């Protein structure tokens, strides 16, 4: 495990470490104060190089890190933290971004589970819409950017109800010319949310449909309080694997939502939605009305728009009936 920076450590003669926020095998994330901008609190991600690799490889990774950090710094989206700086200190790479307050969605899942309840589907779909917007924005960059580590703990809900996709730990830059990818901040995605093509290392074959799988797994977890079975286990079990379902766990989930998420969780990329826009449409679009609903709604519209006329007609019919009875 790497040495942790202590509080009050100053990085780049600017950032004062306040506390450790999170730690993993590749480094750590700190909350820090920007001493040049009074009152600004930021998050600093520390990436420690793999010392078992050659010096040449480490230099390549560092150069790629600078390329990726420069691209991330140009991103500007309400559901992504703003990257403001990057630098190297004592052989470690650092990425500086907005510090996002609030709970992550994993905490909200745990709260619901302890209460023996589920997060309301409408609320989950509100978050899903924001997540889709962020992913669509990333995938439309030039070159496209893949996140590759979407999961509830990497999504924060701010006090004003906006979600932020906070961790860029496995971002990849697609290079269209040779259909390969540049991956800088190396590591493995959490297996329950990783598609089959991403498990087992950086094969270079992941694309936007990999993020779609991870988004689907995240929504599955939010609606059921449990992550889906991992893709590798599902693949190995094959036909012996029980049919994946959401409504058997949470009966309140709509069929449309379940079908959209299960489509995103298909094992083979070609069986999933082709892009975030398609997944968004399947998940959030209003389903087409049936013929009976159309007729029913038409009568409702007629009544609402002509209720005064209908009342008058009924009034005169009542008078006519009354006169007829008197006669």
Query: What angle in degrees, to the nearest 10, is found between the helix axes of 276-284 and 208-224?
Result: 30
- Between the CA of residue 18 and those of 13, 34, 35, what are the distances in Å? 15, 10, 12
* Residue-level pLDDT at 56: 78
Does residue 287 sit in helix, strand or coil? coil
Rounded to an integer, what distance in angstroms lies between the CA atom of residue 114 and that of residue 116? 5
* Residue-level pLDDT at 200: 62
According to CATH, the superfamily of the domain at 10-98 is Phosphorylase Kinase; domain 1 (3.30.200.20)
List the catalytic residue out of 34, 149, 207, 211. 149
* Residue-level pLDDT at 66: 78
Equal CATH topology for 10-98 and 103-284: no
* Residue-level pLDDT at 180: 36
Mean pLDDT by 10 residues, the chain (327 residues): 85 96 79 95 84 72 74 90 90 90 95 97 98 96 87 95 79 44 46 87 73 97 96 87 92 97 96 97 75 55 62 74 69
Residue 274 neighbours by CB under 8 Å, 6+ apart: 209
Respond yes or no: is residue 38 known to be catalytic.
Answer: no
Rounded to an integer, what distance in angstroms lies between the CA atom of residue 94 and that of residue 310? 71
Go through the chain and tell me how many residues it has.
Answer: 327
Rounded to an integer, what distance in angstroms lies between the CA atom of residue 244 and that of residue 19? 41
* Residue-level pLDDT at 304: 54
* Residue-level pLDDT at 61: 67
Rounded to an integer, what distance in angstroms lies between the CA atom of residue 65 and that of residue 97? 15
Q: What is the DSSP string of 185-254?
A: S-----GGG--GGGTTS--S---HHHHHHHHHHHHHHHHHSSPPPPHHHHHHHGGGSPPP-STTT-TTS-
* Residue-level pLDDT at 4: 87
Which phi and psi angles does 242 have, rounded to 5°? -60, 150
Q: What are the structural domain ranges in the chain?
A: 10-98, 103-284, 291-326
- Between the CA of residue 250 and those of 55, 89, 121, 141, 247, what are the distances in Å? 52, 49, 10, 36, 5
* Residue-level pLDDT at 22: 84
Architecture of the structural domain at 103-284: Orthogonal Bundle (1.10)
Dump pLDDT digits (tens) for 95-151: 999 999 999 999 999 999 999 999 999 999 999 999 999 999 999 988 888 888 899
Rounded to an integer, what distance in angstroms lies between the CA atom of residue 178 and that of residue 321? 83
* Residue-level pLDDT at 277: 97
* Residue-level pLDDT at 299: 54
Q: Is the pTM of this model over 0.85?
A: no
């Amino acid at each position: 495990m790497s040495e942790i920076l202590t509080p009050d450590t100053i990085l780049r003669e600017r950032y004062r470490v306040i506390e450790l926020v999170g730690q993993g095998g590749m480094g750590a994330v700190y909350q820090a104060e920007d001493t040049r901008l009074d009152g600004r609190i930021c998050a600093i991600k520390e990436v420690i190089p793999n010392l078992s690799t050659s010096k040449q490889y480490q230099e390549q990774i560092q150069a790629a890190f600078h390329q990726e950090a420069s691209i991330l710094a140009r991103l500007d989206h309400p559901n992504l933290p703003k990257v403001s700086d990057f630098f190297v200190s004592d052989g470690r790479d650092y990425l500086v971004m907005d510090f996002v307050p609030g709970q992550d969605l994993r905490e909200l899942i745990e709260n619901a589970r302890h209460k023996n309840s589920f997060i309301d589907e409408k609320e989950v779909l509100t978050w899903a819409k924001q997540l889709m917007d962020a992913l669509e924005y990333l995938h439309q960059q030039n070159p496209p950017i893949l996140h590759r580590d979407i999961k509830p703990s990497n999504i924060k809900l701010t006090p004003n109800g906006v979600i932020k996709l906070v961790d860029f730990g496995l971002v990849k830059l697609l290079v269209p010319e040779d259909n390969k990818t540049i991956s800088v901040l190396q590591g493995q995605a959490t297996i329950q949310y990783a598609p089959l093509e991403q498990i087992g290392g950086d094969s270079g074959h992941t694309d936007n449909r990999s993020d779609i799988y991870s988004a689907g797994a995240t929504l599955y977890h939010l609606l059921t309080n449990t992550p889906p079975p991992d893709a590798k286990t599902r693949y190995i079990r094959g036909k012996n694997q029980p049919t994946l379902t959401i409504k058997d766990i949470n009966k309140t989930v709509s069929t449309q939502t379940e079908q959209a998420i299960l489509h995103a969780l298909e094992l083979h990329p070609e069986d999933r939605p082709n892009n975030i826009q398609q997944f968004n449409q399947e998940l959030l679009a209003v389903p087409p009305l049936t013929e009976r609903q159309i007729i029913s709604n038409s009568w409702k519209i007629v009544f609402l728009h002509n209720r005064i006329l209908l009342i008058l007609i009924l009034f005169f019919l009542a008078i006519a009936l009354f006169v007829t009875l008197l006669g």
